[in-house]
Amino acid sequence: MLLKMTLSEMLLRGLFDPASALAVIWRRVPLGSIELRSKFDAVARPPYAYGIVKGAKLAKALKIGKISVIEFGVAGGKGLLQMEKTAAEVSQWLDMEIEVYGFDRAEGLPMPRDYRDLPHHWTHHSRSRSFKMDPNLLRAKLKSAQLVLGEVEETATTFYEKYRPAPIAFVAFDLDLYSSTVAALKIFETQQSNILPRVIGYFDDIVSDDDQLYNEFTGPLLGIREFNDQHPSMKLCKINGLHSARYRKSSWSEGVYVMHSFAHPLYNCDLR
């Protein structure tokens, strides 16, 4: 049926999006800077590119020459491998060193603890060991990114002492569960020198269909709300109007938050 339609018919029926087609072609022929391509989603993993570019530019403006970016929930490693590639391109573009870290328990999704972990959706995935990692296979593919393996309740709190990372500029949270997200958010409970005054965050599991039914009383959205309630000088906030402000309107912008550290000594620096 689709093959028999003309281009004009597909456009009228909403089956062909010129902007999406252009983005796909642009990804395969990556002309222009990573920042320019990111504005049009002409990159792999657009939210990762957005967060790394914005975080690196902030660090550059603050005269910080080395940053870290993190993915919580690595699983098979596709996201971390792309994060590594994007970080390398941004590093070259801005002449900045970027460390990449991937956190995972390596054993797959843990069992939901209570209703806040949405067991009606995730119990099956937990029992089937969904998202299990092969650490040796993934390490063989990685060039510079480091795996931080273990239960996130422990690794998020011992990370700074063990790895001595550069200040964190971007964090991708893809942990699915409320309990895991709460544990990962402890990455922000550290000395101000370990983070930028504003850290871009991307939460993969807050926009749902009618199976997950994500809401502010369960899942990662509840974790974000509790973080804000418990930290007077740090707040995870959405960027109001980000969706309409971008050149290419994208649903992933719903998952972008910024962790504002209002007490950070560099928070009020003039960036102009």
The predicted-structure confidence for 122-131, as pLDDT tens digits, reads as follows 887 777 677 8
Cβ atoms 201, 173 nearer than 8 A: yes
Q: Which residues contact 257 (CB under 8 A, 6 or more apart)?
A: 200, 201, 202, 203, 224, 236, 237, 238, 239
Give the model confidence (pLDDT) of 230-265 as tens digits.
999 999 999 988 877 776 777 889 999 999 999 999
Edge-to-edge strands of the sheet including 97-104?
A: 146-149, 97-104, 66-72, 168-173, 195-203, 256-261, 234-238
Of residues 3 and 55, the one with the higher pLDDT is 55
Q: What is the pLDDT of residue 25?
A: 72
Per-residue pLDDT of 70-96, as tens digits, reads: 999 999 999 999 999 999 999 999 999
Q: 151 near 179, Cβ under 8 Å?
A: no
Q: What is the pLDDT of residue 270?
A: 87
State residue 262 phi and psi, 5-degree precision. -65, -25
What's the confidence (pLDDT) of residue 164?
Answer: 97
Give CA 101 to chain center in angstroms.
12
> Rounded CA gap, 135 and 54, in Å?
30
Q: What is the pLDDT of residues 150-186, one digit of tens each?
A: 999 999 999 999 999 999 999 999 999 999 999 999 9
Q: Which two tokens stand for residue 16?
A: 């062909």
7-49 pLDDT, tens per residue? 455 455 554 455 666 666 766 767 788 998 888 888 989 999 9
pLDDT value of residue 3: 43
- What distance in Å separates the CA atoms of residue 104 and residue 150, rounded to the nearest whole number? 6
Checking if the pLDDT of 148 tops 50, the result is: yes
Report, as an integer, the average pLDDT of 116-126. 87
What's the token pair of residue 35?
Answer: 């920042």
So what's the pLDDT on residue 6? 52
Exposed / middle / buried, residue 199 (Cβ in 10 Å: 0-12, 13-18, 19+)? buried
Is residue 208 exposed (0-12), middle (13-18) or buried (19+ Cβ within 10 Å)? middle
Q: Identify the pLDDT of residue 18.
A: 59
Domains and CATH numbers, the chain: 31-261 (3.40.50.150)
206: left (phi over 0), alpha (psi -120 to 50) or beta: alpha
Q: Which residues make Cβ contacts (< 8 Å) with residue 9, sequence separation at least 6?
A: none
